[in-house]
Chains A and B, each alone.
Chain A
Amino acid sequence: MATLIESPLTRLTPEQLEQIGREFDAIHNEVKAELGDRDRLYITSMIQMHRRLVVLARVLLLASRHRPAWIAGTMTLSLAKILENMEIGHNVMHGQWDWMNDPYINSSTWDWDSASTPEAWKHSHNYVHHTYTNIRGKDRDLGYEIMRIDLHQKWNPVYLFQPFYDLVLAGFFEWGVAAHDLDFDAIKSGEKSKAEVRRQLKGMAGKARSQIVKDYVAWPLISGLAMAAVDLALETRDRGLVRTGSRAKLMRKVKGAVRRGPVKGALAAALEGGMRSFRSTQKANFTANIVRNVWAYAIIFCGHFPDQTYTFSQEEVADETKGGWYIRQLLGAANIEGSPLFHVISGNLGWQVEHHLFPDMPSTRYAEIAPRVREICERYELPYNTGPFSKQLGTVQRTILRLAFPGGKPRPKPGPYRGDDDSRSVAGGPAPVAAA
């Protein structure tokens, strides 16, 4: 389908593009030369914090059958999983910390608590998505091949269900991403060999198995056993099985009691208590995985699908220069405004524009370079896509609902960035060009 919206890319001269390319390169090189102890301290502290949170959460969840412990434990575990996936896993696997030459914090050795194997994810995300960002037909993250998220996508009755499976995807996002990594189109077209698909499926199965064993068997079992032991101790005391006296005397008493029943009763009570803990820890872990998935989904869908962003046809980006690549990243991504804490727990993906310009720059630096990126936008009269979380997520959901049905009109795009005041809103933007 022909391009429905002229992007600002078309009005920049080759000289301007080259100059913009040089300016962005300069930011990248300056930051790279500056990286040092401060940055290393940040990521090592973040990794330590994640591990401490996990320990705290697992300990709290030993007592998961008590409501306050369940709530505190689930919240802590959710937060830990979010940090692990986003600020740590995503960014380390982007190679943002490879400059440290640390053998453990390195994109080639890192693994994460997610359904995707690092290898598959690095290919589909780092390579395919970050190289072909928002190019229709090439960026497989544009609607993830199951959604109509862009007006240029041809409607299909399946899309009528997309508001529904959008919700399912949110809850089970990591599994969706893992399946997406398989690249069904490539399998269908035979581009991907059967052996390769088998190998990838095996990798996924391994990741699934380890998450299931860890969150739904091993930790629930530990909390079940621990609580059963506590119950047994309490029951034996309450039923008067333990009194002062010698060990031999106690054993005689216990043997007698088994025959009479109180020990059987205590064991039954302990078993029941243990089972209850097993199930409540399972539920807590399941909830934490869902919370992590929904959060990751929300942040990631705000990266490229808000109204402000542009998509590109393959013709538009043929013979693209480095400068053109930068502009495409700038126009194809959208930021989320938020507090420093918000940025940490969203893996600094609220700085999606900066992240797409410099995917291998340590995430902590995005906030620092943002003013320089905005300054370039202002000078070249380019938009700088950003907005509050509710607005970004709202426009994404509106699009998902609207494009479930045929047709649809282009959404208005923001005009050039005009400095840090309120004039960057939609008003004043160029009117969308109607479809031919």
Chain B
Amino acid sequence: MAERGARPKVPAWRLKLLRALRALFTPLLPDDYLELINPLWSTQELRGRIERIEHETRDAVTVVIKPGWEWPGHKPGQYLRVGMPVNGIHHWRAYSITSDPGRPDGCISITPKLVESGKVSPYLVRTARRGVIVRLGGVEGAFTLPDPLPAKLLFISAGSGITPIMSMLRSIDRGLGFTDAVHLHSARTTADVIFGAQLRDLDQRNPAFRLHEQLTGKSGRISPTDLDRLCPDWRERETFLSGPPDMLAAMTAHWKQQLGDYDRLHVEHFQPYLGEEEGQQGDGGTIRFCTSEVNAESDGSKPILAAGEEAGATLPFGCRMGICHTCVGRLRAGKIRDLRTGEVHGQDGEMVRTCINAPEGAVEIEL
């Protein structure tokens, strides 16, 4: 079954009333008719309306969304699953929430950056307009500010890795205020800095917040060896790291080497996290989709889902990153490899996610 939005927080009296009226509309729900007036009124799933689309850089926009029901809240740094039809097909993507929880207008925002080969980001950056209705799924993610807030903070980001950090900065700015924070951000040019104007404004208003913009076009991305120069006391700081996988890998290795542990390093693994060591990838295998009667093959890096779709099967899918369990199917035979961890697993009869597992030898799956 395809993924739905989160259950909204609806007053109990309203749910009782709707339930009492069901007999008049069965097999549809009173909600199905209320939606004719306003699609945001659905109590079946949380939806939101795009209120504004603000251009941040030439390829990133901030999408401001007004949730249909009271926003259940999020911790700064978390991400949200957002679903919308693009050319007729419903897609779900996870985006970091870039707004802070205290926003007085009750809106939330996400800031997608254009991925030319993608489906959803080109739609949001180029096509979507005010008034578009989107589905809002679960809020997830452990990349959040600790409570209580540590006195000394270091944020390291690159490119669109800024997005979860922006929510953190906004939240601190609106709430307790900064005591001592340093932000090292890499982007290609000044014009490519997402939230550039707001970050610079934050820097000017707050003596306790220092921003360093590193332009990779000129001086390359911030590397571990730059840390002593740009932020000499980095070892004493609670650090929040978000950016491309190779930067994450280099920084974590540096922390391990210099400090012996990652206790004070928080990393946003936004991309499905493929193991660090080489050689974890399997050799793949063949996949038999029993229900669709389709045979497919994977080289070991291609997930079962993608292989099946290429072979022409229509398969359920949602997040494509192992979160939503929309794509699950019953494993009838064979072993599979989790592409995130490299772990080989799979019991006959187990429900497995096709989006993050590749076959390890021949497998049969009931999809």
Which residues of A are interface residues toward B (Cβ below 8 A)? 29, 35-40, 48, 51-52, 54-55, 95, 98-104, 106, 108-109, 111-113, 210-211, 213-214, 218-219, 222
Contact yes or no, B1 A103, CB < 8 A: yes
Which residues of chain B have C-beta atoms less than 8 A from A102's C-beta? 2, 85, 90
Question: Which of A37, A55, A95, A104 counts the most chain B CB atoms within 10 A?
Answer: A104
Contact A214 B23, CB 8 Å, known A38-B88, A103-B90: yes
Some 16 contacts from A to B, beta carbons below 8 A apart, are: A29-B312, A35-B89, A36-B89, A37-B88, A40-B85, A48-B36, A100-B85, A102-B2, A103-B45, A106-B2, A108-B1, A109-B1, A111-B27, A210-B26, A214-B24, A222-B24
* CB nearest neighbor in A for B36: A51
Residues of the A chain whose Cβ atoms lie less than 8 Å from the Cβ of B24: 214, 218-219, 222
Which residues of B are found within 8 Å of A98, using beta-carbon distances?
314
Tell me which residues from 42 to 93 in chain B have a Cβ below 8 Å from any Cβ of chain A.
45, 85, 87-91
Q: Which residue of A lies closest to B27 (CB)?
A: A111
- Is B4 an interface position by the 8 A CB rule? yes
| Chain B positions within 8 Å of A101 at CB level | 2, 89-91, 316-317
Report whether B312 and A100 are in contact in the complex, using a CB–CB cutoff of 8 Å.
Answer: no
Quick one: closest A residue to B91, CB to CB? Answer: A101
Tell me the nearest residue of chain B to A108, going by C-beta: B1
Q: Which residues of B contact A (CB under 8 A)?
A: 1-4, 23-28, 32-33, 36, 45, 85, 87-91, 312, 314, 316-317
Q: Given the complex of chains A and B, what is the CA–CA distance between A52 and B23 in angstroms? A: 18
Q: How far is the CB of A325 from chain B (nearest CB, A)?
A: 12
* A54 CA / B26 CA spacing, docked (Å): 12
Does A55 contact B88, Cβ atoms closer than 8 Å? no
Distance between B123 CB and nearest chain A CB, rounded to angstroms: 11
- Determine the distance from Cα of A99 to Cα of B85 in the docked complex, in whole angstroms: 11
Distance in angstroms from A46 CB to nearest chain B CB is 13
A222 to B45, CA, bound (A): 29
Known: A35-B88, A36-B88, A40-B88. A103 touches B27 (CB 8 A): no
CA distance A51 to B24 in the complex (A): 13
Assess whether B4 is in contact with A99, with CB atoms less than 8 Å apart. no
Nearest 7 CB-CB pairs, A to B? Answer: A40-B88, A111-B27, A101-B90, A103-B2, A36-B88, A103-B4, A36-B87
Minimum C-beta distance from A247 to chain B (A): 30
Please report the C-alpha to C-alpha distance between residue A376 and residue B134 in the assembled complex, in whole angstroms.
43
Taking the closest CB of chain B, its distance from the CB of A323, in whole angstroms, is 16
Nearest-CB distance from B35 to chain A (Å)?
8
Shortest Cβ distance from A221 into B: residue:
B24
Pairwise interchain contact B88-A51, C-beta atoms closer than 8 A: no
Q: Quick check: A112 and B2 within 8 Å, CB to CB? A: no
Q: Are B88 and A210 in contact (CB under 8 A)?
A: no
- Residue contact B32 to A51, C-beta cutoff 8 Å: yes
- Known pairs A100-B88, A101-B2, A101-B317 / 15 extra A-B pairs, C-beta < 8 Å: A29-B312, A37-B88, A40-B88, A48-B36, A51-B28, A51-B32, A51-B33, A54-B33, A99-B89, A100-B89, A101-B90, A101-B91, A210-B27, A214-B24, A222-B24
Closest B residue by C-beta to A44: B85
- Flag if A214 contacts B87 (CB, 8 Å): no
User: In whole angstroms, what is the CA distance A402 to B317 when docked?
Assistant: 52
Contact B23 A210 (CB under 8 A): yes
A214 CB contacts on chain B under 8 angstroms: 23-26
Q: How far is the CA of A98 from the CA of B91 in the complex (A)?
A: 13
Complex interface: chain B residues within 8 A of A210 (CB): 23, 26-27
The interface residues of chain B lying within 8 Å CB-to-CB of A29 are 312
Q: For residue B194, give the distance in angstroms from its CB to the closest CB of chain A.
A: 29
A222 to B3, CA, bound (A): 37
A103 to B87, CA, bound (A): 16
**Cβ contact within 8 Å between B3 and A103:** yes
Residues of chain B within 8 A of A39, CB atoms compared: 88
Compute how far the CA of A99 lies from the CA of B91 in the bound complex, rounded to whole angstroms: 11
Closest residue to A58 on the B side, CB-wise?
B24
How far is B91's CA from A101's CA once the two chains are assembled, in angstroms?
Answer: 8
Residue in chain B with minimal CB distance to A39: B88
Specify the chain B residue showing the minimal Cβ separation from A54.
B33
Q: Which residue of chain B is the closest to A222 with respect to CB atoms?
A: B24
Taking CB atoms, residues of chain A closer than 8 Å to B317 are: 101
A222 to B24, CA, bound (A): 10
What chain A residues lie within 8 Å of B32 (beta carbons)? 51
* Distance, CA A40 to CA B24, complexed state (A): 28
Q: For A211, list chain B residues within 8 Å (CB).
A: 26
Cα separation A48 to B32 with both chains bound (whole Å): 9
Cβ contacts under 8 Å, B28 to chain A:
51
Q: Which residue of A lies closest to B22 (CB)?
A: A210
- Whole-angstrom CA separation of A211 from B24 in the bound complex: 9
Please give me the residue from chain B that is nearest to A47 by CB atom. Answer: B32
How far is B28's CA from A54's CA once the two chains are assembled, in angstroms?
11
Inter-chain contacts of A55 with B (CB < 8 A): 33, 36
Cβ contacts under 8 Å, B2 to chain A? 101-103, 106
A40 to B32 alpha-carbon distance, docked (Å): 17
A113 adjacent to B89 (CB under 8 Å): no
